[in-house]
């Protein structure tokens, strides 16, 4: 049993691009003393390998997914706009998703985990202890992505519009794919985070986990 009284809790955090899933999941993992898995990094690392080989992200993902090594996820060039686009393309491929599925489940086997992605509550861990679907308007998410990338907020409306377009394109692709599309699980708690900073989102989630009896106070 964990100190919170649950055996191997798994907390699933899904949602569209740049909604703040990673920040929330990392902080929540710390609060709950659970391991944290950012599943987007797996798809990004596959995409990076395809790009490095001069391959086509729409077709060459499966081979690279099967050869993925732990060090591929530690590279510092996985969050570029080019990799954003290529990750969403490799992620459409059922063979890529199948090659990564067991790896994700194994990660949580020993001690549970906080896991963020697109299909965690629907496909990877349908029996998760708790599921959250984190959203924000495209404009808010574009601004968050810009700050994450450049360390300051964007004052150039054309640059912000380009970021909104890129986010909308990726969400459209992630939500319309056949295999494991981006969508909230039926039993996920949806949280709209416009106007909420990271601390407020964390507080809200912790409060819900307390109400559900997953965190004991
Ligand atoms: O950080 P951000 O929300 O922009 O993206 P990410 O979580 O790093 O995911 C990058 C891409 O990987 C997404 O656009 C999805 O296409 C794909 N992905 C997925 O298909 N399933 C997951 N569980 C996680 C990511």
The residue whose CA has the least distance to atom 23 of ligand 1 is 117
Cα 5 to averaged position of ligand 1 atoms, centre (Å): 31
Does pLDDT of 184 surpass 90? yes
Q: Name which residue leads in pLDDT, 7 or 70.
A: 70
Cα 203 to averaged position of ligand 1 atoms, centre (Å): 24
Gyration radius of the chain over CA positions: 17
Pocket test of ligand 1: the residue of 25, 43, 104 to mutate, having most ligand atoms within 8 Å of its CB, is 43
Residues 80/101/107/13 CA torsion (nearest 10 deg): 60
For the segment 105-135, what is each residue's pLDDT rounded down to a tens digit? 999 999 999 999 999 999 999 999 999 999 9
Does pLDDT of 5 surpass 60? no
Q: How far is it, in rounded angstroms, from Cα 15 to Cα 4?
A: 25
For the segment 69-108, what is each residue's pLDDT rounded down to a tens digit? 999 999 999 999 999 999 999 999 999 999 999 999 999 9
Query: Please, what's the b/e burial string for 65-90 (b: 16 or more CB within 10 A of its CB; e: otherwise)?
Result: beebeeebbeeeebeeeebbbbbbbb
Cα 106 to averaged position of ligand 1 atoms, centre (Å): 19
The residue whose CA has the least distance to atom 4 of ligand 1 is 17
Q: Is 81 annotated as a binding residue?
A: no
For the segment 40-73, what is each residue's pLDDT rounded down to a tens digit? 999 999 999 999 999 999 999 999 999 999 999 9
Least confident of 2-6, 121-125, 134-138: 2-6
Q: How far is it, in rounded angstroms, from Cα 116 to Cα 124?
A: 10
Cα 117 to averaged position of ligand 1 atoms, centre (Å): 6
The predicted structure's pLDDT at residue 217:
67
Does pLDDT of 3 surpass 50? no
| Residue 117: closest CA among 107, 50, 109 | 107
Q: Is 16 annotated as a binding residue?
A: yes
Q: Identify the residues whose C-beta falls under 6 Å from ligand 1.
A: 17-18, 21-22, 39-40, 43-44, 87-88, 91, 117-120, 170, 174
Q: Is 54 annotated as a binding residue?
A: no
Does pLDDT of 215 surpass 90? no
Does pLDDT of 187 surpass 80? yes
Cα 85 to averaged position of ligand 1 atoms, centre (Å): 10
CB 183 within 8 A of CB 190: no
Whole-structure pTM value = 0.94
pLDDT band at 2 (very low <50, low <70, confident <90, very high): very low
For the segment 145-175, what is each residue's pLDDT rounded down to a tens digit? 999 899 999 999 999 999 999 999 999 999 9
- Cα dihedral across residues 154, 160, 58, 14: positive or negative: positive
Cα-to-chain-centroid distance, residue 93: 17
Q: Is 21 annotated as a binding residue?
A: yes
191 by DSSP, 3-state: which? strand
The residue whose CA has the least distance to atom 3 of ligand 1 is 17
Q: How far is it, in rounded angstroms, from Cα 149 to Cα 81?
A: 10
């Amino acid at each position: 049993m964990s100190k919170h009284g649950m055996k191997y809790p798994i907390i699933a955090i899904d949602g569209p691009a740049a909604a703040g899933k990673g920040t929330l999941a990392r902080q929540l993992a710390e609060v709950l003393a659970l391991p944290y898995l950012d599943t987007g990094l797996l798809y990004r690392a596959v995409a990076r390998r395809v790009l490095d080989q001069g391959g086509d992200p729409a077709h060459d993902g499966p081979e690279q997914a099967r050869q993925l090594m732990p060090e591929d996820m530690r590279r510092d060039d996985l969050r570029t706009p080019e990799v954003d686009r290529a990750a969403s393309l490799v992620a459409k491929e059922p063979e890529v998703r199948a090659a990564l599925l067991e790896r994700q489940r194994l990660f949580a086997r020993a001690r549970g985990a906080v896991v963020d992605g697109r299909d965690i509550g629907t496909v990877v861990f349908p029996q998760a202890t708790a599921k959250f679907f984190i959203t924000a308007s495209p404009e808010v998410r574009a601004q968050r992505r810009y700050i994450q990338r450049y360390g300051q907020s964007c004052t150039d409306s054309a640059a912000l519009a380009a970021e909104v377009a890129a986010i909308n394109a990726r969400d459209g692709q992630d939500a319309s794919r056949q295999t494991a599309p981006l969508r909230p699980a039926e039993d996920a708690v949806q949280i709209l985070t416009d106007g909420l900073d990271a601390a407020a989102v964390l507080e809200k989630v912790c409060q819900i986990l307390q109400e559900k009896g997953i965190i004991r106070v």
